[in-house]
Structure formats: C-alpha cells, structure tokens
Amino acid sequence: MTFFKSYILVILSCLFSLNANAELTIEITQGTDSAVPIAIVPFSSSARLPVNIVDIIKSDLSHSGYFKVLDERKMLARPSQAGKVRFRNWQALGQDYLVIGQVRDERGRFKINFQLFDVYKGEQLMGYHMTVGARELRRSAHHISNIIYEKLTGLKGAFNTRIAYITSFRKKNGRQIYKLEVADADGFNPKTIASSREPLMSPAWSPDGKKIAYVSFEKKSSAIFIQDLATGKRSQVTKFRGINGAPAWSPNGGQLALTLSKDGSPDIYVLTLANQSLRKLTKSYGIDTEPSWSPDGRNIVFTSDRGGKPQLYLIPSSGGRVKRLTFDGDYNAKGSFSRDGKHLTMVHANRGDYRIAVMDMATRSIDILTRGKLDESPSFAPNGSMILYSTKFGKTSALAAVSTDGRMHQRLAFSRGKVREPAWSP
C-alpha cells in the first residue's frame, strides 16, 4: 500500500460509532515496581463539598505511575492536624509520605489547607493553602496533585491540563455525526468544540492553550479552521484545491505548518497567521506531511516517503537542506518533540505492527514503548513524562498512555464506543 493511500485511509477511518456523552475511565494495565507509597487522608470539612478533593488527588497520583496510594480502609488513623500525626502508624503501614488537609466553607468560598510529610524523617516537607469557589474545586484538586508531584519527583505535574480528541456516533436515522471534543486530562468535563456530518481530524493546540486548529470536511473537501475555545468563534485559514491537512502551531503561536497539495504532490508549507502569507518549505515528488515544530522554532520534523518508505525528516523552519532522521524500521511517521526538545515520539512499524516509539535526539537511538498492532497519533504530556496515543483494543479503539521509559501503561476508554486522534494541551 502506498503512503498516499495510507494517508487517505487515515482520513476515511473516522467512520466509527461512539456515545458522545460518555466520560473517560483510566485503567492501569502495567505499573512500575518502584512506585512510591503515599497515604492521603480524607480532608476534614466544615461543609458538604460538590466534589471529593481527596479522591481526585488519589486518582491523579496513582495514575501517574510514580505513586502507590494507600487504601483508605487500611489506615490506622485519620488525622487532619499536624499535631495529631503519629508517624509510627504510617511507618508500620510502609508509607513513605503522608498528606493531610482541611476544607472550610467561608461564605460560599472554600479555604483549602494541606500538608505533606516525610514519614520516616518525621518532618513536614511543605504546607499550602488556597481559597476557591465551588466551580474551581476540581481544578484546585488537580493543582494540589501538581504541587505534590513536583515536590516529590522534581517534575512539573500535568494534572490540570486538557486533551482533545475526535469522536463519532451514528444517530438512529443512520446519519454519522463527527465531533471534536475537549476534556480534562482525567476525562471529566467533556465539551464539544465542533460538530459536523463530515469527518473532522488532526486537532492541534495553540501554545497558550486557548485555540485549536483542526481539519474539517464539512463542505465535502478539506479545510483548516482555527477555533477560540472561550468564545467558540472560528475562522477558516485554508481551503486550497486538494489536501489541506495536518496543522501544527509554531512555538510563538504566530504560524501554522501544514500540508497542502495545491501545487501537485503534498508538501509542507508555513502560514503566517497575521497576514495570511504562505511559504512553501519542501519540494518533493513524494508525499511530505505531518509537520511538527521543534520547541525552539528553528526546525520542523515531518513524514515523507521520498526515500521509498515513510520516514521522518528534519528541515529548518526558515527553509534549507532536508535531513533524514530515522533509518530503523519499515515505517516511521507522526513525529513530535517533547517540550525540552530532547526526545521525539513517533509511530514506528516493522512487518505491519504499528507501535509508539521515542527517539533520543542526542544519540538518535529509538526505544519502542508499546506492543499494539495499530498504535497511532502519539502526543507528549506537557511535562514529557507520558505519551498519549490511540490504539486498537479488541474490536474497538481507545486512548492509551505510556510513560517515556515504557514502564507505565494506561488505557483511557469511554464506557462505550471509540475515540481517536488525541492531542495533549500545553
């Protein structure tokens, strides 16, 4: 099968059914033996809260793969004040760290205090407080998870981020409806950003997380749109003859790299949004597609079959000499950089098995992280610790995530149906 046919099949493969109102559930399918034991005691509260803050924190930390959260039923005590903590109780349970907290209702505003302790040293590592409204409680819980995660791992947390993905469902009259959805990283608060009777694909977040670029076939041919998430306002930025695809934001948010075939074969172009000026970056008789910027904005990685089979290539974003990046495997595509530029994730294939891999940019070595038959659309978490991707699971499609060291695997699935083309927000 030629790469061009494969590219068209990606467009047409949006034909799947889904319950669009379902939320994501996260299942750890492979953990790590080095997960750190941590106890998170239910926070004392002066009021009945609309969300369970501690449950959210426990879910965040356990799903990160770095922590093993103690079952509440095994706790010997449930202190909410530092003076009531007996470290020997938690040492007996084999816990390395302990979190306690309180929530007070102050005229409809909630004051949250929490403390983090090192159990074996018997000392407080940090304390923190915040005052928020009821609608901010869930995000505040994710924020607490981020604080704990960064304190204990040295890495910034990504629990307060969002994910975008494409879904579709068939109505009772048989008509297919396609939707671009955005949800919190844990699957809550799903919102429909765009809906169409024709396929939607290739969502891409702006660097500030306020807009999404995507491809729509709503008028029977491809076009690229940018939509403001706060206002819902959208604008069409390209609708040339042929392919308009694979939009990717520059790090400064002022340009889009994209794939156009208006001059014949698909090539990489750069569109300056302020004045709509268009610059052709590649010139090849092959198919050049799936551009992605380096974090410093100096280079663009893209997929091309100019060497006979799809591989990853690098070109300066200002134009210039094309350099081939990948040589191992029959197929390497959909490359994108980690935020620090040290790693590149991709879809890597040998003998028909399409798996998620990561390249060390210093050594050019490639590690294969997943074991699926059809894994695709990898997207780095903002902190670079995880990679979100789409995979086949039995007869259905689901989202999945893998840590960049390959030790932690998760499946993120709707209660019914399928989902594809995930993109992690900044």
pLDDT of 11: 38
Kindly report, residue by residue over 126-135, the tens digit of the pLDDT: 999 999 999 9
pLDDT of 3: 40
Mean pLDDT check: name the lowest of 189-198, 248-257, 266-275. 189-198
The confidence band for 1, taking pLDDT boundaries of 50, 70 and 90, is very low
Question: What domains are defined for the chain?
Answer: 3-28+161-424 (2.120.10.30), 34-153 (3.40.50.10070)
The confidence band for 24, taking pLDDT boundaries of 50, 70 and 90, is low
Rounded to an integer, what distance in angstroms lies between the CA atom of residue 268 and that of residue 53?
A: 46
The confidence band for 10, taking pLDDT boundaries of 50, 70 and 90, is very low
Which amino acid appears at position 60 of this protein?
Answer: D
* Residues 282 and 268: beta-carbon distance below 8 Å: yes
The confidence band for 165, taking pLDDT boundaries of 50, 70 and 90, is very high
Pairing of strands 44-45, 67-69: unpaired
Pairing of strands 343-350, 331-337: antiparallel
Rounded to an integer, what distance in angstroms lies between the CA atom of residue 199 and that of residue 373?
A: 24
pTM of the model: 0.88
The confidence band for 350, taking pLDDT boundaries of 50, 70 and 90, is confident
On the question of pLDDT at 342 being above 90, the answer is: yes
On the question of pLDDT at 9 being above 60, the answer is: no
Please, what is the Cα angle at 92 between 87 and 94, to 5 degrees? Answer: 95
* Average predicted confidence (pLDDT) for the chain: 89
On the question of pLDDT at 415 being above 60, the answer is: no
User: What backbone torsions phi and psi does residue 53 show, to the nearest 5 degrees?
Assistant: -60, -45
On the question of pLDDT at 8 being above 50, the answer is: no
State the number of CA atoms in the 13 A half-sphere of 167 facing the CB: 28
> Which residues are CB-contacts of 241 (< 8 A; sequence separation ≥ 6)?
261, 262
